[in-house]
Structure 1
Amino acid sequence: MQCHAGLPFSRFTLTVLAAGALLGCGGSDDHGDNGAGNASATAEQACAALAGKTLAGATVSTAATVAASATAPLYCKVNATIAPQLNLELRLPQQWNGKLYYGGGGGYNGAIPDLSGPNLNALTQGYATVNSDSGHQGNVLSADFALNDTYAANLFGSLSVPTVLSSAREMVQAAYGKQPDRAYFEGCSNGGREALMAAQRNPNLFDGIIARAPAYNWVGFMGQFNRTAKALAAPGGGFSPAKVATLAAAVRNACDAGDGIVDGVVANPQACSFDPAVLRCAGGADTGNACLSDAQLAAVSSWTATASWAGGAYTNAGWALTGNEDDPGAWATWVSGTPNVQFALQYLFQDTTVKNYLARDRTQDSLAYTWDSNLNAVYALAALNDATNADLRPFKNSNAKLILWHGGNDAALSHKATTAYYQAATAAVGGQAAMDAFARYYIAPGVNHCAGGPGADDTDLLAALDNWVSNNAAPATLTARKVVAGATQLTRPLCQYPQYPRYTGPANNAAAAALASNYTCTAP
C-alpha cells in the first residue's frame, strides 16, 4: 500500500520452488555454498553468466550492465520471468558484499519497484538486490487482477516472495559462484505486509526482516477505509483545506509542547489527550472554518476509533491525531481527498477491494456496500492477504531478526495498529525479554507514510539489521535525518518503543533544536 513521492504506483504449481526456497537460507547457520566462488566477478561477468539462462524456473530476458551514475554504482541489471507471469529484476553490483537484499512492493503492486530509496541504499552498500511485480502487471491502486485470476491473487497474497527468492539465490550463485551469505527483506506498506507474511509463513526464508508501516491487517484497515469514506461522503462530512488546518492546529496547540519543545511535531503522542469535540460548531451545524460540524466530527471519530466486524473477528486500531494532518502527504492525500473523498487514496483502495475481492462485481458502489455482509468473502480475503499471526516463535527460533518501523504521522496506515501487533507478538513469544532477543520497534515522530512529513524520515535500518545479524550487535537508539535536496536539515534520535525523543537542550536555540544530541529517549 505504499504511495509516496513517496508513493510510486509498483507484483501454484510453483510449490516445489517455494518449498525449495525454505531450504538452506534464512536464519540458520547454513547458507549454502560459502566457498570463495567468484564473488569478485565484475558486473559484466555477472551479466554474461546469466544471459539467456533459466535458473530455478526464472528465464532471463535481458542482462546488461548499467553505467555508474552520481547516485548509483555500476551494476548488472537482470530481468527475468518465472512462468507464466511473475516478473523480477535482479541487480548485481560491481563490488558484491556477499549478501542479498529483497525489496518489497507497494499498494496492489503491479510493477517492479525502481532503483531508489531503500533499494538504492542496498545496492550502494554492495548488496545484490531483487524486486518483483508480485505476479501481475497493473496500476498500484487496482485489484482488478484478483477478480478472475486466483493464481495472481495467491502470488500477491503470499507466494511471490518465496518463489522469487528461490530463483534469485540460484541466479546469484550462477553469477558469483556462491550462494549469498545473508538474505534480508525490507518493505514498507504492502511491502511491510510482505515482510511480516514471510516472517510468519516462511520463518526460515530470511536472516533478517525490516517491516516498515506494515499493511498486515488487510481486512481490518481496508474495512476502516470503507467506514471512514462513508462518513466523509455523508452530507456535510467533507473537509476543506481550511477545516483540515483547523483540526491540525488545534492538536498542535494542545500537544506539541508535551515533548519538551514546540517545533510543529507531537513526538509524545501518549501524552496527547486532545478531544476533537472542543472544535464543535455551535449547534453542530457547519458555521465556518474555525470549527467542525457534527458530520465532520463523525468522520474524525470514524478515523480515530477502533473498528470491528464479524462480531469482533476482525478489528483495526484507529489513527492517532498528530497535529500534522495538514501536511500535503497526510489527510488531503489519504483520507479526505480534500474536498472530494473519492480522490483520497484510502477511498480508492477500499473501492477496488470491494469490487474485486468482496462483492466481486466491478459495478458495485463501495459506499453502499456493507463490509462484512459476505463473511465468506471476508474470510477468503483474510486468508489471502492478512499477515496477522502474532506467534513469531518459529521466526525467533530460526535466529533471524526483525525491525518494525512506523511513521508517527502516517495517514495511510495507523502506527497504533503496528503497536497492537508488536504488543500481541511480545505476549505470544513469551514477554519483553524474549521479544527483545530478536525484535525492535521504532516510531518516527512527524513522518508520513513510509517517508516525508516534517519529521526525520531517513534512517539506515539495513545497516542496523546487518550489524545485528552479522555481529550480534542489537540496535538501541538510532539516528534519523531529514534530508532536503541532499542537505541534512535536522537529526533526531529514533527511539525504541515506547520511548520518544524529548528535547533536553538549551531553550530558544534553533541550531540546538536541529541536533539529535539535544534530545533524550524518554519513557512516556
Structure 2
Amino acid sequence: MTKTTYPPGPRRRGRGRRALLPVTSVVVAWTLAVFTPTFAAPAGTQAADASPTGGTAVRSCESMIDLRLPGRRVESATSVGATEELPAYCDIQLTVTDPASDESFRVGVFLPSATWNGRFVGTGGGGFMGGGPDEPCGRYDPCSLADGYATANTDAGVPTTNNQGEFALSPDNTLNKPVVDIWNHLSIHQTAVSAKKVITAYYGKGPAYSYFYGGSAGGRQAMMEAQRHPHDYDGLAVFWPALNLSRLLPASLWPQVVMNVAGHFIPQSTFGAVNDRAIAQCDGRDGVHDRIVSDWRACGFDARTLIGDVLTAQEADIINKIWKGPRGTDGRFLWHGPPPGTPLGRMAGTVTDEDGTTSPQPRTDALTWVTHWVLQDPDFDWRTLTYEKFADVFERSVAKWERTVDAVDPDLSAFRATGGRMVITHGTFDGSIPVQGTVDYYNRVADRMGGIREVQDFARLFLAPGGGHETLIRSHPHPGLMPAGYYGGLPSPGSALEAVVNWVEKKRKPTTLLGVGEGSTGETGMKRPLCMYPLAARYKGHGDTNDADNFRCAAR
C-alpha cells in the first residue's frame, strides 16, 4: 500500500464571513463549478440493452493528490491492493467546504484500479450518520466495488460514531443551521458531484450510469436526491426510507408516553405473546399457513380479545393505542403506529429486571430529536409529557422541520423527466419506521402525477411481508421476508439494485423482487416474490411453499 497526503486541514472552520464581495465571488465560482453537470451523461441517453464501457486509469492513484477542484481539497490518495473480497482500488479522500457557511464535510471516493465497469454507486447513511467515507462499502457489505463499480459516500459533516443527532444544537442551545443543511441534503448532492469529477479525472471519462443505494436514513437521502437534485443519479434503490422525520421521531416516543401516562410499562415477553396471537390470526390469507402475514393491511387485530388470557384490560388498551399510533387529545390522526405483529423492542422498548420491575427504554434518536431539534432543551424530561403536551411537541416538530428535513415532496416530475428510475422496498413489520408512511407517500405521488400506473413507469414500490428494519430482522421472533441483497450494495440476483440497473440500462421494468426468508435463527431457505404495490403474493395451491415460483402476485 502506498499513500501520498497533504497535512490535513481543519475539518470544520470558523463561521465568520469575509467581506461581501470576496464571499460572493467564491460562492458564484463554487456554484458554477459544482452544480453544472457537464461531466456526466444525462439519464437515459444510452440505447436500450447498451452496456457501459468501463476502462482503466489514465493516471496513477498517487498523482490524484495534485487534483485541483473548486471548493474541494484532496487530503489523500491511497493505492489499496486486491483482497479476496475486493479488487485493487484507489482511495481518494476529499474535504468539501460550503462557501456559504465555511462548514466542511468529508467525501470518500473509491475507484477500481483495473476493473471499472463504467458505473458509479453512491451509498447512504443510517440514523443521524451520513455514511462512512473511510470505507469503500460505506455501511453496506458486500459492496458494489466488488463488482467493478466506483463508489463514494460522505460523513455529511457530522460524527460517524456515537451520533444521535446532538449536532443540531450549538452550545448556547441555538440551532446549528449550517451543519443541519449540510447533513440534510447538501453533502449527499456534493458527494455525487465530487465523485463524478474525481472519476473523470482518474479514468479520463465520467460514469455512463450513476446509482444510489440507501436504507433508512440512506433511503431518506435517496429521496432527497430525487426531489431536490434529480440530475445526480440515473437510478435509486431505496430501502425502508425515513421520509417523515418531523413526524416519525416524535411519534417514536408515543408508546413510551402511553405507558408512562398509564403508569404501567409492559414487558417485552408480553408484547411478544400478543404478536404471536396477532400473526396466528392474520396468517393464511395468502393460501398458506407459514406465520408470514402477506396481507398486513387486512389484519385488524384487537388486543382486547386477549383480556383475561394474555393481557389485562389496561395492557390491552395500551397496546391498541400503540398500534393505532399517535393521536391528538381530540382523537385526530397525527402519525402511524406499527401494524399488529411488529416487534416492539425498539419503538416500545422496555427492560425487565430480575425482580420483575419493568422500566422504559425510549429510543435515543427520538429523545434527541425532541430535546435538541424541537425544544432546544437538552435537559427536558420526556416523562413530563402528558397527551396534551405530546400533541404540542408533535405539532411543533412538524411546523419547525417538515419543510426542511422531510423528504416527502410528491412532485417527482423533474426526476421522471431526466429518465430516472427508482425501486422502493419496505418491510411490513419494520419496528423502526412504520411501513404505512412509505405507502402513504407513494400514494400521494400517484395522486400528484396522474395515477399509480403513471408512477409505475418510473418508480415502483415492493413490500416485504413480515420484513423488519435492516439487519435487525435477525432478532425477529418470526420468519419474515427481506429483499435479496438488503444487507449489501452489490447488485445480486433479484435485488433492488439489480432491478434498478436493469431498468435503467436495459429498459426491463421490474414486476417482482426476490424475497428471502429470515428469522431468529437467520437464513431459513425460504424464497418468495415481493410483489409490486398494491399486489400481494398468493400461493398457487401446489408445490414447495419455500419456492418463489409457486406464488403469484394478485390483487387483495
| TM-score greater than 0.5 by the shorter chain | yes
Q: CA deviation at 1:30?
A: 6.5
**Which residue among 44, 51, 60 is the counterpart of 2:65?**
51
In the TM superposition, what whole-angstrom CA distance separates every residue of 1:266-309 from its partner, at most 9, and x where no partner exists? 1221332221111224xxxxxxxx42234433432333225357
In 1, distance between residues paired with 2:223 and 2:212?
10
Question: What secondary structure does 2:281 align onto?
Answer: helix
Q: Which residue of 2 aligns with 1:438?
A: 458
**8 Å Cα contact 1:187/1:210 also seen in 2:** yes
Does the Cα contact within 8 Å between 1:38 and 1:177 map onto a contact in 2? Answer: no
Report if aligned partners of 1:407, 1:449 keep a CA contact under 8 Å in 2.
Answer: yes
Letter in 1 for 2:545: A
1:478 aligns with 2:513: yes
The whole-number CA distance in structure 1 between the counterparts of 2:329 and 2:120 is: 41
Superposed displacement of residue 333, structure 1: 3.4
Task: Tell me which residue corresponds to 1:153.
Answer: 180
1:368-387 correspondence to structure 2 within 5 Å: 368-369=384-385, 370-371=389-390, 373=392, 378-387=398-407
Which of 521, 528, 534 aligns to 1:492? It is 528
Aligned to 1:301: 320
Q: Answer with 108-117 or 132-141: which moved more.
A: 108-117
**How far is the alpha carbon of 1:313 from its aligned partner?**
11
The partner residue of 1:171 within 191, 194, 198 is 198
Q: Deviations over 1:140-182 (max 9, x none)?
A: 5511110122211111222111122111111111111111111
Contact 1:268 1:500 in 2 (8 A): yes
Which secondary structure state, in structure 1, belongs to the residue aligned with residue 470 of structure 2?
A: coil
Q: Does 1:61 align with 2:75?
A: yes
- Separation (CA, whole Å) in 1 of partners of 2:333 and 2:202: 46
Q: 2:372 aligns with which of 346, 356, 360?
A: 356
Any idea what SS the aligned residue of 1:120 has?
coil
Determine the structure 1 residue equivalent to 2:105.
86
Q: Which moved more, 1:377-386 or 1:189-198?
A: 377-386
Provide closer, same or farther for how the CA distance between residues 206 and 69 of structure 1 changes in structure 2, counting only shifts above 3 A: same
Is the contact between residue 423 and residue 499 of structure 2 (CA under 8 Å) also seen in structure 1?
A: no
Deviation of 1:398 after TM superposition, in Å, equals 1.8
Which of these two proteins has the greater Rg computed from alpha carbons? 2
1:384-441, Cα deviation, whole Å (9 max, x unpaired):
2111111212221221112111012201001111110111101101112211111110
Give the direction of change, closer, same or farther, for the CA distance of 1:280–1:403 in structure 2 (3 Å limit).
same
Tell me the equivalent position of 1:107.
127
* Distance change (3 Å), C-alpha of 1:68 and 1:250: same
- Give the corresponding residue for 1:75: 89
Report the Cα distance in structure 1 between the residues aligned to 2:401 and 2:208, rounded to whole angstroms: 36
| Superposed counterparts of 1:136-285, under 5 Å | 136-137=158-159, 139=161, 141-148=163-170, 149-281=176-308
Structure 2 vs 1, CA of residues 373 and 483 (structure 1 numbering), >3 Å: closer, same or farther?
Answer: closer
Letter in 1 for 2:306: L
Q: Given residue 78 of structure 2, which amino acid in structure 1 is its aligned partner?
A: A
Matches within 5 A, 1:348-427: 348-369=364-385, 370-371=389-390, 373=392, 378-427=398-447
SS state at 1:492 partner: strand
* Paired residue type of 1:449: H
Q: 1:89 offset after TM fit, Å?
A: 1.4
Answer yes or no: is 1:130 the counterpart of 2:157. no
**1:517 paired residue number:** 549
Structure 2: distance between partners of 1:196 and 1:15: 26
Separation in 2, partners of 1:341, 1:388: 35
Deviations 1:450-497 (A, max 9, x none): 343432322421111011111211111222334799977221111111
TM-score (norm 2): 0.80
The question of whether the paired residues in 1 share the 8 Å contact of 2:250 and 2:370 is answered with no
Aligned to 1:121: 143
Unaligned runs of 5+ in 2: 1-11, 16-22, 47-51, 98-102, 171-175, 353-357, 486-494
Q: Is the 8 A contact 2:55 2:117 kept in 1?
A: no
Counterpart secondary structure, 1:307: coil
Length-normalised TM-score, structure 1: 0.84
Shift of 1:211: 1.8
Structure 1 residue 73: deviation in Å? 2.7
Quick one: structure 1 residues 352 and 139, their matched pair in 2 at CA, closer, same or farther if it must change by over 3 Å? farther
Compared CA separation, residues 110 and 129, structure 1 to 2 (3 A): closer
SS in 2 for 1:102: strand
CA RMSD of aligned residues (A): 3.2
Equivalent position SS for 1:131: strand
| SS of residue paired to 1:195 | helix
Q: 1:333 aligns with which of 346, 362, 365?
A: 346
2:380 and 2:87 map into 1 onto residues whose CA distance is 48
How far apart are the structure 2 equivalents of 1:169 and 1:361?
Answer: 41
Task: Report the alpha carbon displacement of residue 189 of structure 1 after superposing the two structures with TM.
Answer: 0.7
Asked if 2 retains the 8 angstrom alpha-carbon contact of 1:402 and 1:440, the reply is yes
Tell me which amino acid in the other structure corresponds to 1:491.
K
Q: Which runs of 5+ in 1 are unaligned?
A: 1-10, 32-36, 282-289
Q: What is the SS of the residue equivalent to 2:345? A: helix
User: Which stretch of structure 1 is more off in the superposition, 479-488 or 175-184?
Assistant: 479-488
1:314/1:161 CA distance change after superposition, 3 Å: farther
SS at 1:257 equivalent: coil
Q: CA deviation at 1:219?
A: 1.2
136-145 or 432-441, which deviates more:
136-145
Q: Distance in 1 between matches of 2:65 and 2:513?
A: 41
Assess if the C-alpha contact under 8 Å between 2:131 and 2:153 holds in 1.
no
Partner AA of 2:112 in structure 1: P
The residue type paired with residue 85 of structure 1 is: S
Which AA in structure 1 matches 2:481? A
Following TM superposition, by how much is the alpha carbon of 1:15 offset from its aligned partner in structure 2, in angstroms?
6.2
